[in-house]
A and B are shown apart, each in its own frame.
Chain A
Amino acid sequence: MPSKRFVSTAMVLLFTLSLVLAACGDTPTTAPAATTAAAGAATTAAAGAATTAAAGAAATTAAGAAPAATSGKKVSGEISVYLNSYYDPTADKETADVTAAIAKEYEAAHPGTKINLVAAVPTGTDLETWLAARMAANQSPEIMWQQFGTRNQRASTWWLPLNQYLNAPNPYIAAGQPGSAKWSDSLPDYVLAQTKAPDNNWYQVSLDWVETGLYYNKDIFAKAGVDPTTWKSWANYVKDMQTIKEKTGVSPLGMYIAQQGWSNWWWVDDMLLTANWGDKANDFYLEKYKTAAAFRQLNPEEVAKAIIEGKLNATDPRMDNYLKMSKEYVGLLPNDYTSIPNLDELDPLFYSGKVASVWTGTWKNKTYAKNIPFNYGVAYLPPFTKDDAPGATGSAYRVGGPSSAGQYGITQAAAKAGGGKLDLAVDFLHFLSAPQNFGRMAKAFGGYIPMVKGSQSGDVMAGFQKIAELPERLFNDPDGRLTVESGNKWSQAMQGFFLGQTDVATTKANLQKVWMDGAKSLCTAQKYDWCK
């Protein structure tokens, strides 16, 4: 029948059109929640994040000079910019509107320019796939976010070293303010030290840092008679968590260990290694990386050198205590801790009362405030005492750092493109990172502490200021200690130990092999002068 034929022809045409449109779209959309979660993956720490913001704010007030609206440099053309959680209209329209307004201000001040804000890209390992394809084809956004551990691995194959720009003025910072003479001065020293790649380059500017905390169900804790404010030591904390399990039958802690990639178990791993090796920190530090902080995080070169020189050895007796504490802690986790696929999958367990607490990051603030159906609080972990671990320094350690949404670099695609794209990308990154602009974005999002001097954190972050004042971890997440591959192998060796596949001696030998292979691999790649 003609009408039937018409309908079927129309359907075929519609289907074909949809295929063509789908193929033409170059900006895939993904779940916004996952995007923010990706921002929190793999963290490092540094002390004094909160104080930086305050000090910077004071400096701005004192000087009072107005920031420039343009750099005076002629720029034109069009660039794409991916800003992670700061521009994700589906997940957080308020913040996205602020960011879009800043981009519009830039375009208005620079006629002939166009800033395309990329709304959402795939997350986690999918992002790596997405980026790998675009980097290979020189079609990535000109300004792009990537997790700091992996970006340092990709280094100059994907990213443009920013050293020369960081040493030059940021024209959008008011005269007399930190950063106006030398862009890097707008960021604290510990941020610069922490984000430097193993080859001594900076591939991204670290405009904000993340914090973490133990979000807990007050009702379950009260039922078990546990009060987090009374925790005096790690042993005390672990015992209380075991009490929760005994009295309520609920898994006390929402954490998981992935075989591949980041998991929030890595935070525990960092802590326990730090507790057991903390007293040896000065033996590992290299003079050339010395900062004002007495206790800071080791960078990959320092870890590699310590391993190769035998100062840091996984077969050391200290690792017996590390493994004992790790196994004890695993007993607090949900029974499928080795198969929970990502951090967001812990939320249903937490919301439904199947776990009493979740150790997660501040990027969850808004989501939790909106969705948690019970009274909840945020606590933090207690100090490690000498009784907990002989190498402990008597402190709790901060888990936070440059794994937030404000980590932006300029891709090699911009450098190779010509046509003024690189100039435009550098100029817009200057503009974006000036305190009067980035501060607005950080305040609207409220999930990260801005690191740009002169910008202030929003009210939501106020509760994390105490945590931000703690000393940082000695050890970074496994993928940031040496290489991404050695990080994954470390996780797999620990999984094998927890699941009873390897005993203590074998596990120590396996971990030492992972460390030594990673150190040698880093040596080969970076050709440090001390490498033989």
Chain B
Amino acid sequence: MCGIVGLFLKDKSLEPRLGELLSEMLVTMTDRGPDSAGIAIYGAPDTGRSKITIQSPHPEKDFQGLKDLLKATAGDSLTVHIKATHAVLGVDAAKAEAVRAALAAERPDIRVMSTGDSVEIYKEVGLPKDVANRFDVVHMAGTHGIGHTRMATESAVTTLGAHPFSTGPDQCLVHNGSLSNHNNLRRELKREGMRFETENDSEVAAAYLTSQMAHGKNLGQALEGAVSDLDGFFTFVVGTKSGFGVVRDPIACKPAVMAETDQYVAFGSEYRALVNLPGIENARVWGP
């Protein structure tokens, strides 16, 4: 069991409250996943700039002097914003790959959580409430975001085993369920050149979708492909730069509730996750 939430804001006036609304949804889903939590927040992109969200098990050591270390590669416009075990690097889009390479060479313990124009991913082990507080999610603004509370089944309770998983720019995935053909699929995707950080089944699903979209499919087509190529139980919520998509396996036993008003489209593993959203009483509520 795990908990998933997602919120896409149609009403711009709610954007400053995205983090607040999303963390409330996330904390409500603690019963479904108390061992780890994570969120992906999509903010307004800055033309020509990229964000790299990184994580380290020893932030005090790895994040120290990071700006000076990367200056030669990233130039003067580099920004470093540290949030607990994570940091968001703002770089010129053209230099993002070089910065990643420099990080891998100079600070090998640093892991890249996400890259892209607008996404930032934060995840850690611990109660969702504590994880949200640690990164001050409440004060994050943005257009849309997804979140996950984890009850681990397939792999260890570690920061890297928490969701969301990102394997491509501005793409990420959260998963409730378990996959049974992930080892084989991981082998095939590795052959294609995809990078994996964990033994986790959900990371394979994220990589699969990224690979499908890299081959020219749009999100909808990639998700349709997932229904036949992934074996197991799943409700996925997949975030992209422009929104999020939902897909369930044909048996559809992993729960999913959606709600829509003029102000937002919301997703929750349970209706409970949605009850604090403004105007939920009059929302259109349905099971996708």
Say whether A associates with B: no
